[in-house]
Amino acid sequence: MQTPPPTLLARALAHGQHGADAAPCAATWNPVGVINNAAPEGKELKYGNRERERRFLLAAPPAGPVVRTGAITDRYITGTRLRLRRVEWTGGGEGVVYKLTQKVPHPDGRSGLITTIYLTAEEYRVFARLPATPLRKLRHSVPPLGVDLFEGELDGLVLAEVEFPSDDALADFTPPPIAVAEVTEDERFTGGHLITATRAEIAVALAEYGIAIALRRAGHWTSSPSHSPVEDRGSSALV
């Protein structure tokens, strides 16, 4: 498995960056390494949780059995750190699930703090009216991996994620043999970057890891059901 590029902090230190372009100074980090400026001092974890996650780049989906599949539509709400998610699961019995998530990234690009609430269909429709940039993908559950197959401009990009209950479990995890590289600290493969990335930019990023995708115009959504975020008419019960 290839070694990922240097972290943002390492690159900043290596190039002597200072001021607004510099990575945050380690001396200013709080104990969990994340600063949520919206929270009162010392209360970053009152509602938020540590996001213990590692991401891996795959050349293709794994051959292992798929436990369930979710058609995911994410809406990154403009001007915020909020992500509105609709997941339509098949094979797992959960049906359609709606969530609103805030992510506060670690200063060096790693996973940071995450706060998530479940929404009713009606609540989802309210948030779905806000200006946002969508991101669509299929998620295959292949334990312990959640494997994402991206669509549209990002067709050909395959990422796998693993979540962990503790820091020790995160550190002790052995990357799967199918992983081309770990990209946990490569911000180009975060949702917040992927929503604005062009196909050419993704092709360049993948080429650095030895993966080639065709440079073609984006096609139509074909892997997930047609869905308009404000057309859901599901039950108001929590899902």
- CA atoms within 13 A of residue 19's CA, in its CB half-sphere: 0
pTM for this entry = 0.77
Does residue 203 lie within any of the structural domains? yes
Look up the CATH number of the domain holding residue 198.
Answer: 2.40.320.10
Contact 58, 142 (CB under 8 A): no
User: Which of 144, 132, 55 lies closest to 100 in space, CA to CA?
Assistant: 132
User: Which of 123, 109, 96 lies closest to 191 in space, CA to CA?
Assistant: 109
Q: Considering its fold, how many domains does the chain have in total?
A: 1
Kindly give the parts of the chain with pLDDT less than 50. Answer: 5-32, 218-227, 231, 233-239
Does residue 182 lie within any of the structural domains? yes
Tell me the pLDDT tens digit for each residue of 101-120.
Answer: 999 987 766 668 999 999 99
Contact 8, 23 (CB under 8 A): yes
Range of the domain at 195: 8-207
Tell me the pLDDT tens digit for each residue of 52-73.
Answer: 999 999 999 998 899 999 999 9
Q: Count CB neighbours of 45 within 10 A.
A: 16
Residues 135 and 115: their CA atoms lie apart, in Å, by: 19
